[in-house]
Amino acid sequence: MLLAIPDLLSGAEAADIRAALEAADWVDGGVTAGAQSGGVKHNRQLPEGSALARALGERVLDALARSPLFLSAALPLKTFPPLFNRYGPGESFGLHVDNAIRAVPGTPVRLRTDLSATLFLSEPDSYEGGELLIEDSYGAQAVKLPAGHMILYPAKSLHRVETVTSGTRLASFFWLQSMVRDDGERALLFDLDQSIQALAASQGLQHPEVVRLTGVYHNLVRRFADS
């Protein structure tokens, strides 16, 4: 399931992070790439674990924790500290798949990457190219969202970032391990949860069938989830 999370950050929050990134020191993006993806990755990143990456990453994590849509779709168990990248003219990231297991540097934590996320920080009209192309069962989907919006997609997907031909594309990206490993089961839970929310809005939270369906949702989570 590909899902856009609109307005994870407000335009002002995204602009504030962008201003901090514009003054930052960047390193070659190859530092977090594997052997295959390293050969096709041509961009720059904030040094992992730098004070700025940690501070900005905390702001992204706070925004995720405040987003009911993200929590419903991802059912997050462990989230990798957000990374930040920058593509200038001529830079791109060729077709690759993200590593299945990621160790969080400086900690004993490892996570299985069930979901990948890209939070767009530059306004789409400020750069040319730079679309995120994600292959799914319906073909390649081109994603280029307003600043502050995020795309969530299965980490098993092949994907690439088109060459930026002018301007600068700033983004945050990270991975997470979901409590529900299987993408199909997670998508079913998401659909059910969204439908219950809509029913509750029209019928009231205490409507007997809303209560019953809420029970079904939680009992399916018990069946599918690891925590």
Q: CA 164, CA 171: separation in Å to the nearest integer?
A: 13
Residue 101 corresponds to which tokens in the numbers above? 């297991």
Residue 154 corresponds to which tokens in the numbers above? 């299965």
Residues 95-154 that bind Ni ion (CB under 5 A): 98
C-beta of residue 84 within 8 angstroms of C-beta of residue 56: yes
Residue nearer to Ni ion on the CB measure, 7 or 183: 183
Give helix 208-224 / helix 183-203 axis angle, nearest 10°: 160
C-beta of residue 153 within 8 angstroms of C-beta of residue 217: no
Q: CA 63, CA 199: separation in Å to the nearest integer?
A: 26
Residues 39-68 that bind Ni ion (CB under 5 A): none
Q: CA 61, CA 84: separation in Å to the nearest integer?
A: 13
Residue nearer to Ni ion on the CB measure, 64 or 133: 133
Nearest Cα to Cα of residue 141 among 153, 123, 155:
153
* Residue 27 Cβ vs Ni ion, minimum distance, rounded to whole Å: 17
* Residue 173 Cβ vs Ni ion, minimum distance, rounded to whole Å: 7
By CB under 5 A, is residue 162 in contact with Ni ion? Answer: no
* Residue 154 Cβ vs Ni ion, minimum distance, rounded to whole Å: 12
* Residue 41 Cβ vs Ni ion, minimum distance, rounded to whole Å: 8
Instruction: Collect all residues with Cβ–Cβ distance below 8 Å to 34 and sequence separation of at least 6.
Output: 99
Residue nearer to Ni ion on the CB measure, 155 or 189: 155
Q: Which residue is nearest to Ni ion (CB)?
A: 98
State the residue for tokens 């001529």: 90
Residues 76-105 that bind Ni ion (CB under 5 A): 98
Residue nearer to Ni ion on the CB measure, 72 or 85: 85
Nearest Cα to Cα of residue 130 among 95, 97, 90:
90
Residue nearer to Ni ion on the CB measure, 85 or 168: 85
* Residue 187 Cβ vs Ni ion, minimum distance, rounded to whole Å: 21
Residue nearer to Ni ion on the CB measure, 98 or 193: 98
Residue nearer to Ni ion on the CB measure, 97 or 213: 97
State the residue for tokens 């997470």: 176
* Residue 118 Cβ vs Ni ion, minimum distance, rounded to whole Å: 9
Number of residues that bind Ni ion (CB under 5 A): 1
* Residue 119 Cβ vs Ni ion, minimum distance, rounded to whole Å: 14
Residues found near Ni ion in the complex (CB under 5 A): 98
